Amino acid sequence: MSTHDDDARKPRTYPVQCRGETRYVTVPGSDDLQPGPGSEPEFETFLAEAVEAYAESSEMAGPDVRTFAEAGVLTRNRGLVVRFDQVEFQVTLVRSR
């Protein structure tokens, strides 16, 4: 019988693009829980990669993911512009504490 704690300690695999294919690799030290993003720039990168990985694993058309700076959004906040075909979302990132 497996417990939640046992599952949390198993090595995790991460998607990596290699010659147009997604391969799943185990990252050294991934058997321990990894720290989450600690800053807005780190969370921005984390969120962009998560959106792209989800789209790829769901076999949906790849989204266009750009930071506010890359997309030319006039704001001092950090964030992402995510576009799926004709639908576009703006996700603003504001650290609360």
Q: Which residues pair with 16 in a beta bridge?
A: 23
| 0.85 surpassed by pTM | no
Collapsing DSSP states into helix, strand and coil, what is residue 9?
helix
Per-residue pLDDT tens digits for 27-61: 555 556 666 788 888 888 888 888 888 888 777 77
- 81-93: average pLDDT: 92
What is 25-89 written as a DSSP string?
EEPTTTTSPPPPP-SHHHHHHHHHHHHHHHHHHTTPPPPEEEEHHHHT---SSEEEEEEETTEEE
Q: Are 87 and 70 in contact (CB under 8 A)?
A: no
Confidence of residue 2 (pLDDT cuts 50, 70, 90): very low
